[in-house]
């Protein structure tokens, strides 16, 4: 999909949160690795980046299927996810991603609505959005863990953002750092800007359906305006 075709007008920019707005992914990856280990399961930090965007139970079931040949039951999922959250909450506070504030500010200055679409339900992060990005995001249209059933790579979270904003996919941009998030945005029909802020090779994001790729939010902040026409 190209932005130059038709007379498209961008009305909405949907930002993923972890790894885009906050530099939180290293903490998620190490927390997943430690929690799985506590339950006799193996999930390397590198692999955790590949699962970014899934629901907690979605990730857990992939690992139990592979290692135990079965899905985890609800109780196991709860315990493992609680353990992962415990490790995550003991990590240092994730900092705002350099360049993220500038990117969101430019979107807003262009008269376009920025919203957050995330599978995360981390209370600490949600509360910090307003502190780190004051008066920038339209919180009524935010999509988070409690809103979604399937999670990424299902297009559901982005379709929900479009629905809340009453905007057509052709008039929206998705900004994502994770392969499954890129897939979700692409499947929702949006123009997807990938920002590779993690350890994965660029081609993983490009093959997931990214329309363009930048290597940092700072680099994106210097280029975002050309996509907002």
Closest contact distance (angstroms) between CB of 110 and Mg ion is 23
Closest contact distance (angstroms) between CB of 6 and Mg ion is 29
Q: Does residue 156 bind Mg ion (CB under 5 A)?
A: no
Residue 184 near residue 153 (C-beta atoms within 8 A):
yes
Q: Does residue 153 bind Mg ion (CB under 5 A)?
A: no
Tell me how far apart the alpha carbons of residues 229 and 185 are, in angstroms, rounded to a whole number. Answer: 19
14 Cβ contact partners less than 8 Å away, ≥ 6 residues apart: 115, 116, 117, 158, 161, 162, 172, 173, 174, 175, 185, 190
Assign 18 to helix, strand or coil: strand
Q: Does residue 19 bind Mg ion (CB under 5 A)?
A: yes
Looking at the Cβ atoms of 62 and 110, the one nearer to Mg ion is: 62
Looking at the Cβ atoms of 77 and 117, the one nearer to Mg ion is: 117
C-alpha distances out from residue 161 to 29, 120, 124, Å? 26, 15, 22
40 Cβ contact partners less than 8 Å away, ≥ 6 residues apart: none
Among residues 15, 16, 172, 211, which is the contact residue for Mg ion, using CB under 5 A?
Answer: 16
- Total residues contacting Mg ion by CB under 5 A comes to 5
Query: What x/- string results for residues 160 through 199 when contact with Mg ion is judged by CB under 5 A?
Result: -----------------xx---------------------
Q: Does residue 23 bind Mg ion (CB under 5 A)?
A: no
Whose structure tokens read 């660029």?
202
Among residues 18, 23, 156, 211, which is the contact residue for Mg ion, using CB under 5 A?
Answer: 18
Whose structure tokens read 């909405």?
12
Q: Does residue 211 bind Mg ion (CB under 5 A)?
A: no
Which residues sit at the interface with Mg ion, rule CB under 5 A? 16, 18-19, 177-178
């Amino acid at each position: 999909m190209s932005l130059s075709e038709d007379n498209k007008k961008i009305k909405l920019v949907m930002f993923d949160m972890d790894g885009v707005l906050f530099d939180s992914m290293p903490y998620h990856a190490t927390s997943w690795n430690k929690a799985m280990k506590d339950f006799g399961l193996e999930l390397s930090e590198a692999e955790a980046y590949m699962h970014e965007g899934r629901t907690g139970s979605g990730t857990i079931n992939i690992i139990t299927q592979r290692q135990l040949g079965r899905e985890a039951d609800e109780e196991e999922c709860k315990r493992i996810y609680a353990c992962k959250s415990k490790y995550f909450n003991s990590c240092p506070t994730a900092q705002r991603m350099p360049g993220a504030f500038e990117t969101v500010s430019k979107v807003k200055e262009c008269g376009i609505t920025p919203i957050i679409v995330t599978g995360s339900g981390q209370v600490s992060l949600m509360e910090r959005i307003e502190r780190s990005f004051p008066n920038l995001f339209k919180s009524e249209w935010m999509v988070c863990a409690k809103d979604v059933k399937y999670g990424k790579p299902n297009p559901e979270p982005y379709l929900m953002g479009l629905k809340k904003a009453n905007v057509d996919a052709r008039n929206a941009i998705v900004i994502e750092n994770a392969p499954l998030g890129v897939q979700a945005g692409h499947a929702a029909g949006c123009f997807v800007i990938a920002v590779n802020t993690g350890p994965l090779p660029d081609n993983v994001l490009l093959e997931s359906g990214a329309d363009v790729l930048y290597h940092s939010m700072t680099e994106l902040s210097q280029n975002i305006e050309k996509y907002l026409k």
